[in-house]
Amino acid sequence: MAAFDDVDVKEGVDQETVDAVQAMAGKYKYGWETEIEMEYAPKGVNPDIVRLISGKNDEPKWMTEWRLAAFERWTQIEEPTWAMVTYPKIDFQDIYYYARPKSMEEKPKSLDEVDPKLLATYEKLGIPLKEQLILAGVEGAEDVPAEGRKVAVDAVFDSVSVGTTFQEELKKAGVIFCSISEAIREYPDLVKKYLGTVVPVSDNYYATLNSAVFSDGSFVYVPPGVRCPMELSTYFRINAENTGQFERTLIIADKGSYVSYLEGCTAPQRDVAQLHAAVVEIIIEEDAEVKYSTVQNWYPGDENGVGGIYNFVTKRADCRGDRAKIMWTQVETGSAVTWKYPSCILRGDESQGEFYSIAIANNMQQADTGTKMVHLGKKTKSRIVSKGISAGKAQNTYRGLVSMHPKAKESRNYTQCDSLLIGDKCGAHTVPYIEVKNNSSRVEHEATTSKVDDEQLFYCRQRGMGEEEAVALVVNGFVKDVLQALPMEFALEAQALVAISLEGSVG
């Protein structure tokens, strides 16, 4: 709160927004710790650790070798420095790469066998691991129709998946939803076919490290023509100290299928920074559609920048088939440092990519986030809407790429980035790369509040509103739209953001 006491907020910035951002600062709700007996792999990373992790998961030989090759590659490349973030050099040998609750040594056969302490943890986070209709405490739950709304949850605690709900019911529909370690054992052909095909082992420093040491994560396969009967969700919890979380998510939407996937993450409040380096790969075949939503709420560190999560994440969706569709929605409020660019490879003709992002950086937080839209197929479409808010001494950067390849004829991109500064000690930056290599495509990048949709503006003005009022309404309406696009399970966290408006944004 202190950060706001001496801040002169410039005229035109919505007071409700200031209050909402203020309310989020300085009181991290998920900073508590679960006391539970853990077993760790020795600190540091080397081929033996890689083998150990692979061994813990009972992986086949090809997987172990895949990891070792990734490790070998990792030792040859350097940490990237181009993002607009600064942090003390990470000592990669001073981190535990594997931490699992002792009670998880024998994999529980059903949710009933899971350690009550773990169940209590998720209960407290508002994500009870029960096959119930709707998560407790979510506002609006009372409006849910009588037949109910189901969400299957895979809960990842430090390095292992604790349990996955509704697996049987999903199986009846043909949908596979399990931890990636289970998938490597049970569905090796599927994993082998797709793993590393969207984010190659050598993609970037953190992705390469992840390929070597990922311990668990979620796996989803939706067969052709199946509309996944419920939303799928993974909840990531870092609990152990000095431990890095390296999870891997692989989602495959086969021809004509549909799935909505949600992801949430929290961590205890500690004064030593912790590393989270995840990789998410999504494959979308012909006519399939995937919605991927994230509320990223890792511990952001305190107001002096002590502690917090370094969130260095590689997320990418490959629209392989014609008319495939991906929609990324992200609400980024946590982490000390964020380095994250959920991207879309629009390979299939007429495939579509959408990216909606709200990034709020407070105190000493630094966020460098955005997206890449790589248009390869004909008549592909993409839309980027990014809203960045900086307060305190935070730095918030939108970094993105829109690339129209020569063969991506008649494609279309629209990008809109807005930034809002609360106080004069923070920064807001925009670094878009635009590469257009054919002339039948159209690319538009705009970054100003006055550039809202003319038709909407006209509509408002026609009804007697002043221009500014109309712009504010349209922009605010938009932020709310993004939030409303989020699945209900995130409502708890997202509701706090609804008051945010981009009125008074700087560009």
Question: Of residues 141, 434, 465, 485, which one binds another protein by CB under 8 A?
Answer: 434
Q: Does residue number 275 form part of the binding site for another protein (CB under 8 A)? A: no
* Region near another protein per CB under 8 A, out of 6-14, 189-197, 259-267, 480-488: 6-14
In the complex, least distance from residue 80 CB atom to another protein, rounded to whole angstroms: 11
CB-CB contact of 365 with 391 (8 Å): no
Question: Of residues 82, 89, 109, 168, which one binds another protein by CB under 8 A?
Answer: 82
For 351-376, the three-class secondary structure string (H helix, E strand, C coil) is CEEEEEEEEEECCCCEEEECCEEEEC
- Our CB check for another protein shows the closer of 105 and 469 to be 469
- Our CB check for another protein shows the closer of 52 and 434 to be 434
Burial of 102 (0-12, 13-18, 19+ CB in 10 A): exposed
CA distance to 115, 141, 171, 195, 237, per residue, from 183 (Å): 22, 33, 13, 11, 21
Q: Give the amino acid at 330.
A: Q
**Strand pairing report for 289-296 and 218-222:** unpaired
Question: Of residues 113, 442, 466, 467, which one binds another protein by CB under 8 A?
Answer: 442
**Tokens linked to 326:** 């991906």
Of residues 281 through 300, those in contact with another protein by CB under 8 A are: none
Q: Does residue number 484 form part of the binding site for another protein (CB under 8 A)? A: no
CB-CB contact of 26 with 5 (8 Å): no
Q: Does residue number 441 form part of the binding site for another protein (CB under 8 A)? A: yes
In the complex, least distance from residue 348 CB atom to another protein, rounded to whole angstroms: 21
Across 207-224, b (16+ Cβ under 10 Å) vs e yields: bbbbbbbbbbbbbbbbbe
- Our CB check for another protein shows the closer of 320 and 405 to be 405
Of residues 398 through 427, those in contact with another protein by CB under 8 A are: 404, 406, 409, 419, 421-427
Q: Give dist(CA 392, CA 22) in Å, integer.
A: 9
Question: Of residues 451, 456, 459, 495, which one binds another protein by CB under 8 A?
Answer: 451
CA distance to 82, 166, 184, per residue, from 163 (Å): 38, 10, 16
Q: Does residue number 444 form part of the binding site for another protein (CB under 8 A)? A: yes
Distance of CA 40 to the CA centre of its chain: 26
CB-CB contact of 291 with 259 (8 Å): yes
CB-CB contact of 97 with 108 (8 Å): no
CB-CB contact of 212 with 67 (8 Å): yes
Q: Give dist(CA 320, CA 346) in Å, integer.
A: 7
Q: Does residue number 448 form part of the binding site for another protein (CB under 8 A)? A: yes
- Our CB check for another protein shows the closer of 276 and 412 to be 412
Site string for another protein, 330-349 (x = CB under 8 A): --------------------
Q: Give dist(CA 179, CA 218) in Å, integer.
A: 4
- Our CB check for another protein shows the closer of 113 and 468 to be 468
Site string for another protein, 10-49 (x = CB under 8 A): xx--------------------------------------
In the complex, least distance from residue 308 CB atom to another protein, rounded to whole angstroms: 22
Q: Does residue number 440 form part of the binding site for another protein (CB under 8 A)? A: yes
* Region near another protein per CB under 8 A, out of 60-68, 239-247, 280-288, 437-445: 437-445
Question: Of residues 117, 185, 445, 461, which one binds another protein by CB under 8 A?
Answer: 445
Q: Does residue number 383 form part of the binding site for another protein (CB under 8 A)? A: no
* Residues making contact with another protein (CB under 8 A): 9-11, 82, 404, 406, 409, 419, 421-448, 450-451, 506-507
